[in-house]
Every structure is written in structure tokens, then in C-alpha cells.
Structure 1
Amino acid sequence: MGLPNLRMGIIFLIQMQVGILENSTLLLTFIISMLSLHNHRLTDQILNQLVLANSLVLFSKGIPQTMATLGWKCFLDDTECKLVFYLHRVGRGVSLSATCLLSSFQAIKLRSSFSRWMELGVKSPKCVGFGCSFSWILNLLINIFIPMKVTGPLNEKNISLEKLKDYGCCSGIMAEKFTITLYALVYFSIDFICLGLMVWSSGSMVFVLHRHKQRIQHIHSNRLAPKTSHETRAIHTILILVSSYVFFYLLSSILTLCVSLIAKPSQWLVDSSVLVASCFPTFSPFVLIRNDKRVSKSLFACWFRKPN
């Protein structure tokens, strides 16, 4: 194993360890908060889906790529390669949908111009649960063709080498231009709709936050300070999540497009594509942990809990 591969392997290893630790901490915190009645928030249900999707991305593609980069020989067979690529696509799609749902939820909650049934609907746990369930079902169905186009590295009995694209431990069957165009149209149209909603909700929240700050400039009552601080902190968290997702999504899409268009992409390009795709699942838990006081309280309680 050369020095560049060793460096990339160490970067992958650090990224996976940090990402898995952060997402595990958040998942445990949200489960505890959902079980307790006084500390539960409606957005915890959406954040749970985001954490699960991030974990799925890290486990499905990050860990195998880390092991392959560090020098392990190909350890995935044909079925495992299909499952890894399929779960990675599903996790990536649910992560996008959960971020979009979270930002739209907060924007609708802040905007007073919406009709009353929208205000009641967004406050309903059933409405939020339906949105999360629909996101999983949609991504499970839209990526159902992925296992048909992915194969193991040694499964080349009936397929010519010219029709295979090397992804390191696994290979991809190069589809026809019509199939690629049709899938890209459906896949990216859904992504663009979610990104458009995220940009709209972010702009709406920035407008509401700016107007809110202008209104409270003339208010000097101390009793409004905690509520204002909480609202501002929640909006800032979502804005950071949305902006970081858009940035990593665009960069990941460019690298993925390069890997798809190049007949035999270099190992560095494949590794970089996986590395960037795992950046948001690693970065977003840090933002949530930093801005959610319940996490620090839970960790503090577990650390200093006296044994019976």
C-alpha cells in the first residue's frame, strides 16, 4: 500500500470514528428525550431520521471504503456490493429529505401568513411521522434498480470488461444512455425540488429572523430574552445544516458525475467522492450537539452517575 493510499485510509478512519460516535450520541439523546414527556420536541422525530440516514451512509459506504483503502483485499461479494450501494443511495436520499423536512417545518412554524390548517398540521406528530415514513418509502422505491447495475469484482462471467466500471471493491454495469438519462431526470428532479424547498425555507427564516430582531430592538423586558434566544439558536442551527448540506451536495454531485462519465476513474477520484459524500453525516451531528443543550446534560448525567 502506497503512501497516498495510507493517508487517505487514515483520513477515512478518523472520519468514520468521529461520525459514528457523534451520530450514536445524538441517537441515544433523542431516544431518551422522546421517552420523557417534559423534554420531548416535535422536531426530534425528524432529527432521528436524519441521524439514522447519516449512520446508514457511514456504515454502508464509508466503512467498506476505509477498509479497502487501508489495504484489505476485496471482502465484498456480489450480494454485499449490491446491498452496500443500495443502502448508501437510500441513506443519502433520506438525509436530503429529512434536512428539507426540518427546514420546511421550522419555516412554516415561524411564518404567521400560513393558513390555520397548516399551523395545526405542522404541529401534529402524525403529520411529521407521515413525512418521515414517506421519505423512506420513496427512496427505497426510487433506488430499487441500483442492485441491478452493481456487481462484485469477480462476477464477470457473462459481462465483458468494457461494460464494467471499477469502483474499487465493487464494479458497476454501464447502462445505456437512455436509461442513464431517464434515471438522472427522475433522481435529480427530486433532489432539486428538495433543494429548492430548503433554499426557500432558509430565505424565509432569515427574513423572519431579521424582522424579529428589528422588533425586539425596542423591547427591554428580560422575560422575553430566553424565548428569543431559543428561537434564534434553533434557526441558526437549521441554517447551518441547510447551507452545509447544499455545499457538500453540490461538491459530491460534481465528483459523482465525474466518476460516472469517466470510463475508468482513478482510485483517488473514487475515494474523494466517498469522502465528500460522508462529510455531511460527520459534520451535521457536530452542529446539532453544539446547539442542543440536552446532549451535554445527558452526557454529564451519564458521566457523573453514581453506581448503585
Structure 2
Amino acid sequence: MTSNDMALELFFLFQTGFGALGNSFLLVLYAITFFIGHSMRPIDLLLSHLAFVNDLVLLSKGIPQTMAALGFNNFLDDVGCKLVFYFHRVARGLSLCTTCFLSGFQAITLSPRSSRWAEIKAQIPKYIVLFFSLCWTFHLVIYCNILLTVKGPTRIKNITENQNFIYCSAPTGVSVSVALHALIFSLLDVLCVGIMVATSGYMIFVLYRHHQRVQYIRGNKITSGSSPETRATQTILLLVSMFVTFYSLNSILALNIHLGRLSSWLVHASAFLNACFPAYSSFVLIVSDSQVPRYSLVLWERIKLLL
């Protein structure tokens, strides 16, 4: 094993472990807080779902990528490759969908009471679980084609007819159905990213207008603190910015891979960018969301009572 292989192995292992630890901490924290009967915000359900699907993204991509960096390129058979790629794509789609809904949810929450979103603001928390159900059903169905196309590396006989993803492979031939699926997925991704950008712009506008109003009322004196709603919005904006940045960079690499410009460097770089948002978003929430320390304190107090 070369020093580069060792560095890749440690890098993917650290990124996967670091991200899985953060997401699992949030998931367990939200779950225990809910089960002990402590009041939670509607947005916490969205954040816990985001932590769960981000864990799936990391584990379904990070562990195989780490094994590949170790030199074990044939550790998965056809069934293993199909399941790993299938659940990774489903989890990635759910992460995109949840982040998009999270951005829209916070934009509606932040909207003034006099706006046309006022009625929707009161109703939208009731449909969060329904949204999750529809998203899971939709993504589990539309990615079924992966179960037919992805194969194990042992099936590779002609490198000109297959894309070798180090530990799995897929045909390079572009049929009508494959092109149609790719077009649908691209349009859905672009739509979600467009919604995130639009809602983020709206939230920035609302926060700026609120800041100007506060300055006008209080003169030139700027308040030292901000409301929980404002802090939550700033956290969502940071998450959306991270997602759009990493998604855009990864899309460029993925396009090069699908065009046949395949190399182990491109595959590893794409895997790294793919895992950046799932790995680091949990720590943005831990550091930025004021409710996380509050929930942790409540949980700690309950633990002390039990002891």
C-alpha cells in the first residue's frame, strides 16, 4: 500500500466517522428529547430526518470508499453493489429533498403575519410526516433502475463498455430509458436547488428589512442579541449555502465521470464532495442551533435524576 492509498484510507475513515458521530448525536438527542416528553419545535423533526438520511449517505458511500482505498476492490458482489448504490442514491435524494423543504419551511415561518403565507404557516407543521412518507416512496421508486444497471467489479470484461467505480461498475452505453432517467433526476435536482436559492434570497431580504426596521426604531444602536427565529434562519441559510456549494462542485465532477473521463482521482474527489455536506452539516447545527445545548441540558438533568 502506497502513502497516497494510506492517506486516502485515513481521510475517508475520518470523514465518515466524524460525520456519522455528529449525525448520530443529533438523532439520538432529538429522539430521547421527544420520548421524555419535552416540547420540541416542528423544525426539529425536519432536522432529525436530515441527520438520519445524512447518516445513510455517509455509511453507504464512506465505508465502501474506505475499503476501496485500502485496496479491497472486490469486496462487494452484484447484490452488494446494487444495494449500496441504491440506498446511497435514495439517501442523497432524500437529503436534497429535506434540505429544500427545510429552507421553504423556514422561509414561510419567517414571513410576516400579514403576508399570504400566514394561513400556510399554521398548517404546514401538520404535513411534515406526510411529506416524509411521500419523499421516501418517491425516491425508493424512481431509483429502482439502479438495481438493474449497477454490477459488481467482477463482471467487468470490456473497460470501454463499463464505468469502473473502483468497487462496482455500470454500463457506459446511453439508452433512451437511461437518458430519460438522467434528465428527470437532473430536472428534479435543479428544481430543488432553485427553490433553496429562491427561499434563501427571500429569507435574506426579510432579515435585512427587519434589521433596517430595528435600526430605525432604536436609532443607530444595534441590539447585541437576536431572536431564536433569526438565529434559526441564519443556521438554515448556512446549511443551504453549504449544500448548494458542495452539490454544484460534485455535479461538475459527476458530469465528467458520466462523459467517460473516468479516473480513480475523479471517483475519490466526487466521493469526498458527496460526503462533505452529510459529514459537516451536523456540526453546523450543533454549534449554531441554540436549541441543541438546551436539549442537551434537559437530557443531562434527566440523567442526573435517574442516577
Q: Shared fold (TM-score greater than 0.5)?
A: yes
Distance in 1, matches of 2:287 and 2:39, equals 17
Question: Residue 119 in 1 paired to residue 121 in 2?
Answer: yes
Question: Residue 289 in 1 paired to residue 286 in 2?
Answer: yes
**Structure 1 stretch 64-73 or stretch 242-251: which is displaced more?**
64-73
Structure 2 length as normaliser, TM-score?
0.90
Task: Please tell me the residue identity of whatever aligns with 2:250.
Answer: S
Task: Please tell me the residue identity of whatever aligns with 2:133.
Answer: S
1:132-153 Cα offsets, whole Å, 9 max, x none, are 2211111111111011110011
Distance in 2, matches of 1:233 and 1:294, equals 10
Superposition CA RMSD, Å? 2.3
Distance 1:49 1:210, change over 3 A: same
Q: Secondary structure at the match of 1:75?
A: coil
> Residues 29 and 294 of structure 1 are in contact (CA less than 8 Å); yes or no, is this contact kept in structure 2?
no
- The structural deviation recorded for 1:7 is 1.4
Structure 2 equivalent of residue 75 of structure 1:
75
- The structural deviation recorded for 1:192 is 1.1
Q: Secondary structure at the match of 2:160?
A: helix
Question: Residue 208 in 1 paired to residue 210 in 2?
Answer: no
> Residues 33 and 295 of structure 2 are in contact (CA less than 8 Å); yes or no, is this contact kept in structure 1?
no
Question: Residue 271 in 1 paired to residue 253 in 2?
Answer: no
Q: Secondary structure at the match of 1:32?
A: helix
- The structural deviation recorded for 1:86 is 0.5
Q: Secondary structure at the match of 2:227?
A: helix
- The structural deviation recorded for 1:2 is 1.8
- The structural deviation recorded for 1:294 is 3.8
Task: Please tell me the residue identity of whatever aligns with 2:258.
Answer: S
Structure 1 equivalent of residue 49 of structure 2:
49
Where does the alignment leave 5 or more consecutive residues of structure 1 unmatched? none
Distance in 2, matches of 1:9 and 1:254, equals 24
Match of 1:192 among 190, 193, 198: 190
- The structural deviation recorded for 1:173 is 1.9
Question: Residue 129 in 1 paired to residue 123 in 2?
Answer: no
> Residues 228 and 290 of structure 2 are in contact (CA less than 8 Å); yes or no, is this contact kept in structure 1?
no
Q: How many residues align?
A: 299
- The structural deviation recorded for 1:74 is 2.2
Q: Secondary structure at the match of 1:47?
A: helix
Structure 1 length as normaliser, TM-score?
0.90
Task: Please tell me the residue identity of whatever aligns with 1:215.
Answer: R
Distance in 2, matches of 1:303 and 1:280, equals 32
- The structural deviation recorded for 1:29 is 1.4
Residues 220-235 of structure 1 correspond to what in structure 2 (within 5 A)? 228-235=226-233
Distance in 2, matches of 1:72 and 1:155, equals 16
- The structural deviation recorded for 1:51 is 0.9
Where does the alignment leave 5 or more consecutive residues of structure 2 unmatched? none
Structure 2 equivalent of residue 13 of structure 1:
13
Structure 2 equivalent of residue 138 of structure 1:
138
1:92-131 Cα offsets, whole Å, 9 max, x none, are 1000000000010011122232254322222x33x11112
> Residues 74 and 154 of structure 2 are in contact (CA less than 8 Å); yes or no, is this contact kept in structure 1?
no
> Residues 73 and 166 of structure 2 are in contact (CA less than 8 Å); yes or no, is this contact kept in structure 1?
no
- The structural deviation recorded for 1:155 is 3.0
Identity %: 41
- The structural deviation recorded for 1:70 is 2.1
Distance 1:297 1:74, change over 3 A: farther
